[in-house]
Amino acid sequence: MTKYLSAILKKLATAMEIFIAFLLAVGIILLSARLTLDLIHIPNLEVSPNYEDLLENCFNLIIGVELIRMVYTHRPGTVFEVLLFAIARQVIIEHGSPLNSLIGVVAIAVLFATRKFLFCEFDEAEKILFRATQKVFLVNRLIHVNIPFEEGDTLRDVIIRQLDKHQEEVGVGACAYFSNLGLRVAKMHKGEISRVEVIRSIK
C-alpha cells in the first residue's frame, strides 16, 4: 500500500511541477510581448520603461526561464545558473554600495569555484535500468556508450569483474566507474545481480 501511495504522490508532484512551469512559461511569454511593445519608450529616459527598467525586466525574465529549466530538469547546473543570474542582477541593477557589489562578486566567484571543484561528473546524468543478463555490446549500441567488455560479457559479468578488481563487496548500491559512465547494482535476487543501472554523464 505504501509503495503504491508513494508512486501516486511522485506522479502527482511531477504533474504539479509541470503545471507550475507551464504557468510560469505563459507569464514570461506575455511579459516578453509587453516588453517588446514598450521598447518605443526606451529613448525617452523620463518615460517608463527606460533603459534601466529594460535591464531589470530582462534579468527577471531570464531568471524565470532558468527556473522553468530547473523545475523540469532537476539538474544541479540549472540551480547554479538561477543563482548566478540572481546575484548578477543584484550587482548590476541595484547599484548598491561598493561593499555590496564586492560581496556579489565574491558570491559569483564562490559559485564558479563550487561548480568546478564540488560538482562531480555524474551530478548531471541519465540513468537507465537494464537486466543484468543483457549483453554489453547491445547496451553500448542501444544507448551509445562504451562499456569495456570481453566477448559474450553481460552487464553482470562486467560489474562483478570491476568490483572484484577493486576488492569491493557485491551488493545493492555497489558501483563500478568508467571514464564517462558508471554501473550500479540496482537489484539482487537470491544472491545474484538481477538489475543493473547504467549511469551516463550528459554534460
Q: What is the mean pLDDT of residues 152-178?
A: 89
Return the number of other C-beta atoms located less than 10 Å from residue 196's C-beta.
24
Domains of the chain are 2-117 (no CATH), 125-201 (3.30.465.10)
Strands 192-201 and 181-189: antiparallel
Per the structure block, which three cell numbers stand in for 186? Answer: 540496482
Asked if residue 43 has a cis previous peptide bond (ω within 30° of 0), the answer is: no
Q: Assess contact for 93 and 59: CB atoms under 8 A.
A: yes
pLDDT tens column, 114-153:
777 765 544 555 678 889 999 999 988 888 888 888 888 9
pLDDT tens column, 68-118:
888 877 666 777 888 888 888 888 877 778 888 888 889 988 888 877 776
Q: Is 152 left (phi over 0), alpha (psi -120 to 50) or beta?
A: left
